Amino acid sequence: MLSLVTTPQDLDDRFRETLAALPAVARRRDPADPVSDDAPLTGAQVLDLFDAQVTSRQLDLAGRWLRSFGEGFYTIGSAGHEGNAAVAAALRPTDPALLHYRSGAFYCVRAAQAVAGPASTADPESPKSVPQGSVPPGSVSPDPAQPTERSTDPERLDDPERSTDPEPTDLQPTGAEPPIGGFAPYADAARDVLRGMVASSQEPIAGGRHKVFGRADLAIVPTTSTIASHLPRAVGMGLAVERLRRLDSAGRRTGAGARVGSGSAAPWPPDAIVVCSFGDASVNHASATAAFNTAGWYDHAGLRIPVLFVCEDNGLGISVRSPEGWVEATLRARPGIRYFSADGADPVRTYEVAAEAAAWVRRNRRPAVLHLRTVRLMGHAGADAESAYRAPAELTEDLERDPVVATARLLVDAGVATGEELLARYDETGWQVRRLAEEVLGEPKLASAADVVSALAPRRPVRVARAVADAAAQASGPGAGARAEAFGGKPPELAGPMTLAQSINAALADGMLDHPQMAVFGEDVAAKGGVYGVTKGLRDRFGAARVFDTLLDETSVLGLGLGAGLAGMLPVPEIQYLAYLHNAEDQLRGEAATMQFFSRGAFRNPMVVRVAGLAYQEGFGGHFHNDNSVAVLRDVPGLVVAVPARPDDAAPMLRTCLASAAVDGSVCVFVEPIALYHTRDLYADGDGEWMAGYPEPGAWVAGHVPIGRARVYRVGSADDLTIITFGNGVRMSLRAAAALAEEGVGTRVVDLRWLAPLPVADIIRESSATGRVLVVDETRRSGGVGEGVIAALVDAGYVGAARRVAAVDSFVPLGPAARQVLVSAEAITDGARTLLAR
């Protein structure tokens, strides 16, 4: 049988056999006493850990049972990793946690901590103390002579007709026997997990969208990745927590903190640390490497990052083994990160080391990693047949290190409980979990597309417009003095016509004034002011705490933004070139855009990512500096993608993005056409018609640009042709329209401005007005923006003529060769003539 321990029945049978074989207890120990000499935990607290571990184990068994008849949809469990219960007990319930998918016992403990209420003044992070309340009260009451306090709601916890009294025993204890049935504090956690397994719409965090560990009131941030892409976010959270702590101590904090579902603020305590768990195979992933490197880089630079990484090492990534010693060597070699290690099969030592590690991080505000050795029981998931790649002897060895069995042995050896009593607790918890599983089966599922996407990316345009109006009122009223000081007495509206880069710079400065928690960061943005000067002078005006350079790693830049937004800041990271975003795009797709979706808005990571992009740079580049690929951005559900072409659009669009991020938690990508940064002329050299004045605050409301609204230029009669375009295409199309006007052709040029969501209503209206549509797409013909425009026309039943002019499906080559694959004003004119000739 041991060669086939991939089934719930095998594991359950083995557990029962082991507990039945445990020796009799010769002498009872008072549960209020340390479980052993100098141990940091009492017998009662170890019993609580055992109950949390058993609840997690029974949830795994229930998940396989639900799946056996098609009612369960998630079977990756925590069996073998239950030692993380001691890690949770060693932390404070207000420490934000990002947990990987084998964190069932951790989640149970954290949920019980919330039920228990405020802990006592004893510090669980002092490894030599015996903390009272650091492990949440479970079935063991403070007075061992009194019965356990249990819920009076039979539907939530117990069947009142089911006896929970232990069988009589001949054992004569010196202290009170431990009561049976310590499931009560973990019932809510069990229900949460079971609801996730069955995709119940009543699941408290994702609402049936995914099975995750997360709850806002538990400070557990949901993570849906399996390959450590949440680690960069954890570093960003650590950086933000420390920054906000320093602002708190200086009395200058004005931010709202982390958002909870009700919209109120729930900032973490000033001395909070961030905990982030992951598996051993994930240490090899690029995102984990980026996170470790960034944490160490900042530590080396003297900037504190209070993050405790927890690597739960079971030696396997599905079927691929981690080479012996590799994980430890890798973690120990990380500069700037303190290394701790423990065996998850030893709950006392795990608690002691975890408390020591947490105390070190909390005291020093520096990163550390806890290397927790675990085993994996029942395979990777329900469909995983371990016997295909693991020998029977290896499986047997893992069974011998079952952490739940190890905790049971400790309790029996210490005289806190007998094997029979612990088995009774196990059975009682199993019965309660199975009963809860049957209850949640009948709960509703998400039943419509509207239900599924309701939490994806809320759009409240009226509130966004009101936020812009409030900013204008502040800038022209109470904040006028601070604004004048920030601009050196010369506000941008008095500076005359501006280029695109200058307009963005001024709007960033106004944004910093309007949003005290806004921070601008990225490669070269501070001292240098950006490679194109777009952030020039911002550090001098607002200080190095709000405008700062990062290391050269796009994953880390976005991770810092994700964590900062989650902590209550308004991050504006810069990605130096669009081509470099592709190194890190999963931070947008898998992390940023999914946060509200998988938390029903309980958590959000507002962010405006500035990206220098698109092509047409003269005399510089090649494909890394002239990237015209935006398909990956438009494919991310809920992501806002803005492309300002003109200076007089750039400032209001950036204000809209900042307001949308602050109001709705939006994730916006602000793609700035590099070739237009410093463009001054439109039709002829020296005409200055591509420049525009910066509006004074009193004009911001009238000039507000809502998300998803296009801009229309009318040339001549504007009755003959509609050109739909964006970015560099706007300037080229206006030049083409001028040439066509000399031939008597009236054109309306539609600047999309927003690539996601597309301004569909404006597209349909302006296309129907002429019946001839030329889509000018500077991105590629395959996967480009033009495909979306044409699809929108078809979906709306447009019956007029349509044609595309798009870039060739090619990377952008160096020098004059680029002209062979990119769209030109001449190609637009020729395409228009062909369309008009039909």
Q: Active-site residues: which are they?
A: 625
Within 8 A by CB and 6+ apart from 154, the residues are 160
Buried b (16+ CB within 10 A) or exposed e, 36-68: eeebbbbbbbbbbbbbbbbbbbbbbbbbbbbbe
| Token duo for residue 95 | 């420490």
Q: What's the N-to-C CA distance of the chain in angstroms?
A: 77
Supply φ then ψ for residue 370, to 5 degrees: -105, 115
Compute the distance between CA of residue 7 and CA of residue 77 in angstroms, rounded to an integer. 12
Residue type, position 791, single letter? A
| Token duo for residue 262 | 């009700």
Closest CA to 587 of 615, 616, 614, 611: 611
Segments of 623-782 assigned E as strands: 640-642, 667-673, 711-715, 721-725, 747-751, 754-756, 772-780
Q: Please, are residues 705 and 649 in contact by the beta-carbon 8 Å criterion?
A: yes
Supply φ then ψ for residue 442, to 5 degrees: -85, 0
**3-state secondary structure (DSSP) of residue 101:** coil
Beta bridge partners of 279: 312
Q: How many CB atoms lie within 10 A of CB 144?
A: 18
Compute the distance between CA of residue 306 and CA of residue 544 in angstroms, rounded to an integer. 20
Supply φ then ψ for residue 706, to 5 degrees: -65, 155
What's the chain's Rg over C-alpha atoms?
30
CA distances (Å), origin 236, targets 203, 292, 387, 550, 590: 28, 12, 41, 12, 16
The alpha carbon dihedral of 608, 609, 610, 616 has a sign of negative
The residue count of the chain comes to: 838
Q: Cis ω on the peptide bond leading into residue 458 (within 30° of 0)?
A: no
Q: According to DSSP H, which parts of 21-137 are helical? A: 43-68, 84-90, 104-116
CA distances (Å), origin 105, targets 57, 108, 225, 378, 432: 8, 5, 19, 16, 16
Strands 711-715 and 747-751: antiparallel
Specify the DSSP element, H or E, that contains 539.
helix 538-542
**3-state secondary structure (DSSP) of residue 202:** coil
DSSP 550-592: --S-HHHHHHHHHHHHHTT-EEEEEES-HHHHTTSTHIIIIII
Compute the distance between CA of residue 612 and CA of residue 576 in angstroms, rounded to an integer. 6
Closest CA to 708 of 508, 463, 461, 465: 461
Compute the distance between CA of residue 596 and CA of residue 455 in angstroms, rounded to an integer. 6
CA distances (Å), origin 403, targets 14, 49, 362: 13, 11, 28
| Token duo for residue 432 | 């309660």
Compute the distance between CA of residue 177 and CA of residue 27 in angstroms, rounded to an integer. 11
